[in-house]
Amino acid sequence: MTLTTTKTHAVHGGTLRYLKHDSAATGTPMTLSVFVPPGEGPFPVLIWLSGLTCTEDNFTTKAGAYGAAAEHGVIIVAPDTSPRGEGVADDPAYDLGQGAGFYVDATQAPWAPHFRMETYVTDELIGLIDAEFPTTKVRSISGHSMGGHGALTLALRHPHLFRSVSAFAPIASPTRCPWGEKALGAYLGPDRTVWADHDATLLIEGGTGQGCFDDILIDQGDADPFLADQLKPELLQAAADAVGQRITLRIQPGYDHSYFFMASFVADHVGFHAARLKD
């Protein structure tokens, strides 16, 4: 695999690159952005997973994370949210298909040939970044909404890969909300026991990843229109309390689901991961 740089920007003393490559996991071209802080490195890595309808550009241009990343000496990697292109299955709705990969490996037609986002992130992307950039081969993961679901489930399912995990407004229990039921049913089929392997609340309840993370930082706005029906962080908190997993769930008054919310607290998340990445 070869990374091709499509754009480069100087920011906060570091370098931001937009890149593309042909993915073996998805069988499609994939795009991403990578911020490398000033200095020679090597640097630890924070992988950011975005939410429904997003590309790599939403976080890159709106989150305002690179000042904190430069201060703490952290590479930030932001991949696209799904495979795209001609011949890639799609759906007219915003919450399924292109832009809505849900960070699972699909097993059902017509999604299975390309929608393999779990393998893409945990295998291909990590290997590519470690091979092409000055990393310490130590990394953490974070994300927003669908990407918060992805960050939590991938960290819990692959704890050996990540030093820490955090999320903004994650879909905390996708087996119990309309977004998740639609996507998991389409990608994984009707067997809900298979869905449970991709539900952060149920993974924690079952002890997956137990003892691997000293804390999980979650920020949630109380003015988020999706809070009650789609996100349900109280289920995640209850599961964590039941098994003794520490979660710092911060309910932020007045904040919604937008990148204005993330931009307000992203420096806290970068600092949270930096402290654990450099232990």
Catalytic site residues?
145, 224, 257
Query: Given the structure tokens 């927003």, which residue do they identify?
Result: 144
Instruction: Please state whether 263 falls in left (phi above 0), alpha (psi between -120 and 50) or beta.
Output: alpha
Distance between CA 35 and CA 45 in Å, rounded?
A: 10
List all residues 6 or more positions away from 270 whose beta carbon is below 8 Å from its beta carbon. Answer: 46, 65, 68, 69, 72, 74, 76
Instruction: Please state whether 165 falls in left (phi above 0), alpha (psi between -120 and 50) or beta.
Output: beta
Distance between CA 17 and CA 33 in Å, rounded?
A: 6
Secondary structure of residue 268 in the 3-state scheme: helix
Count of C-beta atoms within a 10 Å radius of residue 223: 12
Distance between CA 263 and CA 62 in Å, rounded?
A: 7
Distance between CA 140 and CA 113 in Å, rounded?
A: 28
Beta carbons of 162 and 155 less than 8 angstroms apart: yes
Beta carbons of 52 and 146 less than 8 angstroms apart: yes
The pair of three-digit structure tokens given for residue 14, joined into one six-digit string: 């570091």
The helix (H) or strand (E) run that includes residue 248 is: strand 247-252
Count of C-beta atoms within a 10 Å radius of residue 278: 14
Closest CA to 169 of 46, 51, 45: 51
